[in-house]
Homo-oligomer: A and B are copies of this chain.
Amino acid sequence: MPTDKTAILKIAFEKQAPLTEEEWIEIRSYLKERTFKKGAFLCRNGQVEHYLSIIYEGTCRGFYNNKEGEEISVGFMFPNDFVSAYYSFLTQRPSLMAVQAVTPVTIISISHTHLNRLCDKYKSAERIGRLNAERIYRRKEEREIALLTMSATERYQDLVDRNPQLLQEISLKHIASYLGIKPESLSRIRKQLAKQ
């Protein structure tokens, strides 16, 4: 095997619980490398998300459509981040969220069926699943606080500070919707910040 891309998943999993050699061999047998062109959908609105994946290379964006049909971004995912229409993955019901490749993307995926099989068989898989759910819950809670207590300007600065690669890869339009404002407003905010 030339380069073993699955290693990033092993590393990510083992941050949460150690894996035996046996477990890892079984997990690895389920993993699938998938690639997407820029603009392609990992999961569309209305589809059931079958995979939990980790990004080997590229950038993804998750978004919802509001009643007016506008896209509301809710997250940007970079290499070594997990990516999935997680709500749909958990419930196995059609997804309200879409996930799109912002650049050409390579991911390592495991299917819901295989992951459930692992959870039934190994306690460590169950634990990884629990810790992972807890981790993304905490992130959502931080986001809730940010939306309730920070101004759009503060949220923008915070987002850029945490994700240096963001401005290179994500359009301002998508960043604006993530911040909960319109592109025109983000433009004005950036102008204000540049002055100082």
Q: Which A residues lie at the B interface, using CB under 8 A?
A: 64, 66-67, 72, 74, 86-87, 90-91, 96, 119, 123, 126-127, 129-130, 133-134, 136-138, 140-141, 143-145, 147-149, 177, 180
Q: Which of A72, A96, A126, A145 has the most CB of B within 10 A?
A: A126
Give me 11 A-to-B residue pairs in the complex whose CB atoms sit less than 8 angstroms apart, sorted by A's number. Answer: A64-B148, A72-B148, A74-B144, A74-B145, A96-B145, A126-B126, A126-B127, A126-B130, A133-B133, A136-B137, A140-B143
**With the chains together, A134 CA to B133 CA distance in Å?**
5
- Tell me which residues across on chain B come within 8 A of A66, comparing CB atoms: 148-149
Q: Across the two chains, which residue of chain B brings its CB closest to A180?
A: B148
**With the chains together, A149 CA to B74 CA distance in Å?**
11
